[in-house]
């Protein structure tokens, strides 16, 4: 079953095409990586999926429903979680409150359920002992991990992560891979990632964007063997 699909999704910034007629299908439960050189339009694409960036034309379908006209908050309410490429936590609030805000939108006034969800999400990413710290006082890496915990606390059906491992230490990246693999199956994941080891070890399928269009789609093995991808991306990648 397809959870998310786009048809002819297009974004134009002042005449410049950032995304051109992207057709994209993401099956339920898959871990998909979205890769491509800098400026390929990856963030624009997921921004349009989550509703953060308005589309120029084309449609987005989630769980059989056309969500193209929905504002961002309504799409999130349908079960999409989104972590920002540039860390965006509530810097003035505690780590616990950051995650509670994420959990509370769905769990509502049930304080005990919210607290349980927060504790669970924080322990899954290894931040449980920092729950009372102010988020803004965390290191950059920990703030990125907090973002992931906020995503987990939403129990999303589709979890979009925009370069989650950027700025993480090697050991944290290893933990991240384990975490993503443990989510697979239950949660559908769309991962923008530059780190090829993360992509190759977690993704079941890979989509390559280049110059705003889909260059290739396939399993990690297929993508690795694709000469067009090698020419456009892998050959020049620093990973």
Partner 1 sequence: MTAATRDAALHLGVLTLLAGLWFVLPTYHSGNLARIMVLAVYAMGYNLLFGYTGLLSLGHALFFAAGMYGLAIAMQQGGWSAAPGFLAGLIAALVVSGVAGALALRTTGVAFMIVTLMFAQAGYLTVLYFGAITRGDEGFVIPQAARSLAGIDLTTPANRYFAALILFGAVFLGLAWLVRSPFGRTLIAIRENEARAKMLGYDTHAYKLRAVILSGTISGASGAAYALLFGYAGATFATVQYSIFPLLWVLLGGAGTTIGPLIGAIFMFYLIDLASGVTDAYMLIAGVVLVLLTLFAPQGLAGTLRNRVWPWLP
Stretch that binds partner 1, among 95-103, 169-177, 202-210, 216-224 (CB under 8 A): 95-103
Contact assessment for residue 19 and residue 39, using Cβ atoms and an 8 Å cutoff: no
Q: Which is nearer to partner 1, 74 or 239 (CB)?
A: 74
64 near partner 1, judged by CB under 8 A: no
Distances (CA, A) of 93 to 113, 204, 224: 20, 36, 43
Does 132 sit near partner 1 (CB under 8 A)? no
Other C-beta atoms closer than 10 Å to the C-beta of 221 total: 10
Residues 186, 194: Cα–Cα separation, whole Å: 24
In whole angstroms, the minimum distance from the beta carbon of 217 to partner 1 comes to 27
Q: Residue holding tokens 């280049």?
A: 210
Burial of residue 92 (number of CB atoms within 10 Å: 0-12, 13-18, 19+): exposed
Minimum distance from residue 69 beta carbon to partner 1 (Å): 15
Instruction: Pick the binder of partner 1 from 77, 186, 221, 231 (CB under 8 A).
Output: 77
44 is an interface residue for partner 1 by CB under 8 A: no
- Draw the binding track, 141-180, toward partner 1 (x: CB under 8 A; -: no contact): ---------x---x--------------------------
Identified binder of partner 1 from the candidate list 17, 93, 128, 174, rule CB under 8 A: 93
**Stretch of 102-110, 180-188, 193-201, 228-236 lying at the interface with partner 1 (CB under 8 A):** 102-110
Q: Are 198 and 164 in contact (CB under 8 A)?
A: no
E-strand stretches of the chain:
2-13, 16-27, 31-35, 57-62, 65-66, 80-83, 158-162, 188-192, 205-210, 213-218
* 64, 92, 170, 171: residue in contact with partner 1 (rule CB under 8 A): 92
Return the residue of 71, 167, 185, 227 that touches partner 1, per CB under 8 A: 71
């Amino acid at each position: 079953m397809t959870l998310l699909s786009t048809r002819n999704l297009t974004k134009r910034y002042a005449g410049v095409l950032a995304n051109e007629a992207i057709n994209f299908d993401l099956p339920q439960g898959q871990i998909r990586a979205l890769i491509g050189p800098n400026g390929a339009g990856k963030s624009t694409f997921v921004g349009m999926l989550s509703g953060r960036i308005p589309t120029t034309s084309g449609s987005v379908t989630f769980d059989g429903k056309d969500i193209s006209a929905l504002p961002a908050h309504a799409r999130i309410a349908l079960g999409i979680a989104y972590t920002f490429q540039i860390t965006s936590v509530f810097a003035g609030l505690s780590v616990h409150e950051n995650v509670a805000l994420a959990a509370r939108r769905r769990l509502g006034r049930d304080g005990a359920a919210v607290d349980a969800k927060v504790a669970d999400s924080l322990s899954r990413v290894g931040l449980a002992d920092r729950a009372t710290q102010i988020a803004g006082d965390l290191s950059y890496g920990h703030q990125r991990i907090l973002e992931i915990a906020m995503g987990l606390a939403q129990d999303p059906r589709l979890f979009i992560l925009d370069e989650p491992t950027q700025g993480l230490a090697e050991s944290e990246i290893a933990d991240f891979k384990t975490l993503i693999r443990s989510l697979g199956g239950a949660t559908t994941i769309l991962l923008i990632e530059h780190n090829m080891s993360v992509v190759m070890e977690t993704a079941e399928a890979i989509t390559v964007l280049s110059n705003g269009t889909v260059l290739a789609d396939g399993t990690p093995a297929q993508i690795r063997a694709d000469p067009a991808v090698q020419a456009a991306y892998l050959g020049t990648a620093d990973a």
